[in-house]
Amino acid sequence: MERLDSILNSHDAIAFRDRVKRLLVDHLPKHIRIQVEQEKMDLSKEDQRTWHKILRAHGLACPSWPVEYGGPGLADHELYILEREFALGGAPRPMIYGVTMLGPALIAHGTPEQQQRFLPGILEGDTFWCQGFSETNAGSDLASLKCAVRREGDEYVINGHKMWTSEGHIADWMFGIFRTDSSGRKQQGITFLLLDMRSPGVSVQPIQTFDGTGIEINQVFFDNVRVPVDQRIGDEGAGWDIAKSVLTAERFGNAEVSRSIASLERLKDYCRATSLDGRPLIQDPIIARRLVELEISLQAVEQTELRFLFHAGDELGAEAALLKLRGTEVQNAILAAATDLRGPSASLLLDEDHPGASAEYTSASHALKAHMNYRKTMIYGGSSEVQRNILAKGALGL
């Protein structure tokens, strides 16, 4: 049971941490940091690209990619430090669909030609990707997807729709899974394709969410959309396993522990700085108790994540699902508390440019938006119920 702090506090690790911290202080644009500190998850395409290009210039874009594909080739503990420092310093999340999901899938399953064609656009931050997985009747039961593809010579022709497509309204390209054969088991006959969102026959219908954060998700319709066969990843009918690997690619961070640590620190700062009847909120025993309980729940996930990453090694399998399950629970509990502790201004929901709104009101409004918006983390990427199913089968053998 070697102590993890010896890994995370080695001479090299400290030097790396300092490098990352300095990058944030020197180069993270303030208007981006402020949005992250307001818990805004989906930044504009422009802001995401700006930050990505800064990372690229400093050799830290696509941090999990190997050197031969243009990544920095970081060790596990460096990736861990990077993710932690980015969260604490108010840096945006990576461009998840290209950098975190598709890139590693292309590296694992793509042909050299496909890698040369698509990886540079992701690495340079020039191509903005979205993910076409869910459909109206294929959510948790993703394998029952129906969006149909038929082969015509050197092309596939897509007809149908995709649903809940995050960032579909700003994406240049989509990776998705489509049904090429419906004769066998539903996991068979699924094919993984890449397509240009400007292709004739693609139409994007933005979906307004209730939380006041603006457009994040879309419905995407396909009307005889033609995709060249060389944009297929893996074999025809082999898309299900690739999609599963994409969904579990995020070994680091899908529990968002680092983001939650930053959120809880901000909440504690708020409770120190804000007085109620002349006394800081943090001195209220009931509020202090609530903060401490959040800290315990978060530490439970944090220590488990560390244990899995650095001790379980290659044995890590279905167990990782509990990180997402518990991590998103505590994340939502922290953001709920961040709203509750605003007092009477807690239920304000303001437009970004609401005239004359005080800092207190604006801050309360951002807290409510985050509280509502982040409910999605327990739904997307395999809902909490799906994670429990995975654990029941994979960890408990049921």
Partner 1 sequence: MIKSLGLNETERLVRDSVTDCVSDIAGAGGTARAQGHGALSSLAKLGVLAAPLSENLGGMGEGLGTAMLVLEPLGRKALVTPYVEKICVPAAVAEFYPGHEDLRKHLESAANAGPGAVMAWVEAGRGWNRIPKSTTARREADAWRLEGRKSLVRWGDQAAAFIVTSKVDDEPALFLVAADLEGVEIKSYPSGDGRVMSDIVFHNVQLPNNSRMDDGNARQVIEYALDAGSALSLAEAVGLMDGSLEMTVDYLKTREQFGTALSKMQVLQHRLVEMYASTECAWSLAHEAASSLARDVPPKSRACAVSRAKAYIGRMGRFVGQEALQMHGAIGMTEEYPLGRYLQRLTAIDLDYGDSDWHLSRLSNVMQEID
Q: Does 255 contact partner 1 by CB under 8 A?
A: no
Strand partners, 176: 132, 193
> Measured from the CB atom, is 186 or 388 closer to partner 1?
388
Question: Minimum CB separation from partner 1 for residue 204, in Å?
Answer: 36
Instruction: Convert residues 286-315 into a mask of x (bound to partner 1 by CB under 8 A) and - (unbound).
Output: --xx-xxx-xxx-xxx-xx-xxx--xx--x
- Rounded Cα gap, residues 22 and 319, in angstroms: 35
Nearest to 169 by CA among 135, 139, 130, 134: 130
Decide if residue 280 touches partner 1 (CB under 8 A). yes
Q: 196, 211, 319, 352: which one contacts partner 1 (CB under 8 A)?
A: 319
Strand 155-162 vs strand 173-179: parallel, antiparallel, or unpaired? unpaired
Q: How far is the CB of 394 from partner 1 (least distance, A)?
A: 10
Report in angstroms how near the CB of residue 316 gets to partner 1 at its nearest. Answer: 8
Shortest distance in whole angstroms from residue 141 CB to partner 1: 14
What are the helix (H) ranges across 110-199? Answer: 112-123
Assess 272 for contact with partner 1 (CB under 8 A): yes
Q: What is the smallest separation between the CB atom of 24 and partner 1, expressed in angstroms?
A: 24
What DSSP string describes 301-366? HHHHHHHIIIIIGGG-SGGGHHHHHHHHHHHHHHHHHHHHTTGGGGG----TT-TT--HHHHHHHH
User: Does 277 interact with partner 1 (rule: CB under 8 A)?
Assistant: no
Contact set for partner 1, span 339-398 (CB under 8 A): 385, 388-389, 391-392, 395-398
Q: Does 10 bind partner 1 (CB under 8 A)?
A: no
Q: How far is the CB of 80 from partner 1 (least distance, A)?
A: 15
Q: At its nearest, how many Å lie between partner 1 and the CB of residue 240?
A: 23
Alpha carbon distance 149, 158 (integer Å): 5
Beta bridge partners, 290, equal none
The reply to whether 325 sits near partner 1 by the rule CB under 8 A is: yes
Structure tokens at 221: 């319709």
Catalytic hit among 250, 256, 302, 305: 250
Q: Which helix H or strand E contains 81, and what residues bound it?
A: helix 76-88
Of the pair 105, 271, the CB lying nearest partner 1 is at 271
User: Which residues within the stretch 132-171 sit at the binding site for partner 1 (CB under 8 A)?
Assistant: none
Q: Token pair of 129, please?
A: 């990707």
- For residues 207 and 379, which CB has a smaller minimum distance to partner 1 in the complex? 379
CB of 5 to partner 1, least distance (A): 9
Nearer to partner 1, 79 or 318 (CB): 318
- Cα(344)–Cα(320) distance, integer angstroms: 39
d(CA 187, CA 287): 49
Q: Which stretch binds partner 1 (CB under 8 A): 197-205, 219-227, 317-325, 353-361?
A: 317-325
Residues whose CB is less than 8 angstroms from the CB of residue 380 and which lie 6 or more positions away in sequence, other chains included: 164, 166
Nearer to partner 1, 14 or 392 (CB): 392
Q: How far apart are alpha carbons 51 and 29 in whole angstroms?
A: 8
DSSP 8-state assignment for residue 92: P
315 assigned to active site = no
Residue partners of 376: CB distance under 8 A and separation at least 6: none
Nearest Cα to 38, choosing from 278, 309, 267, 316? Answer: 267
The reply to whether 29 sits near partner 1 by the rule CB under 8 A is no
Residue (229 or 316) nearer to partner 1, CB: 316
Integer CA distances (angstroms), 242 to 176, 251, 273, 317, in order: 10, 16, 48, 16
324 binds partner 1 (CB under 8 A): no
- Name which position in 14, 283, 347, 354 contacts partner 1 (CB under 8 A): 283
Active-site amino acid positions: 250
- What residue ranges bind partner 1 (CB under 8 A)? 1-3, 268, 272, 280, 282-283, 285, 288-289, 291-293, 295-297, 299-301, 303-304, 306-308, 311-312, 315-317, 319, 322, 325-326, 385, 388-389, 391-392, 395-398
